[in-house]
Amino acid sequence: MGASAPKEFLVDVHGVRPDALTVDALVRLQVVARREGCRVRLRGAPKELVQLIAFMGLREVLLD
């Protein structure tokens, strides 16, 4: 990401499959971004994906 990395990445998740693999990938992306002083924001998340993220206890990690 480098020294001039943005403070926020907007990730369009419209149309992604709402499953554990998708959530895993998003959490890993968030971990890397936070290490670099950035955060990932989701855009266009399907209702099913939001529900799965909440069910997995990751609301504060991905949806705040």
Residue 23 clears pLDDT 90, i.e. is over it: yes
Q: What is the mean pLDDT of residues 7-16?
A: 93
Separation of alpha carbons 54 and 64, rounded Å: 11
Q: Rounded to 5 degrees, what are φ and ψ at 52? A: -65, -45
Do residues 25 and 47 touch, judged by C-beta distance below 8 A?
A: no
What per-residue confidence (pLDDT) applies to 38?
92
Residue 30 clears pLDDT 80, i.e. is over it: yes
pTM for the model: 0.85
Q: What is the 3-state secondary structure (H, E, C) of 9-61?
A: EEEECCCCCCCHHHHHHHHHHHHHHHHCCCEEEEECCCHHHHHHHHHCCCHHH
Identify the band that residue 63 occupies on the pLDDT scale cut at 50, 70 and 90: confident
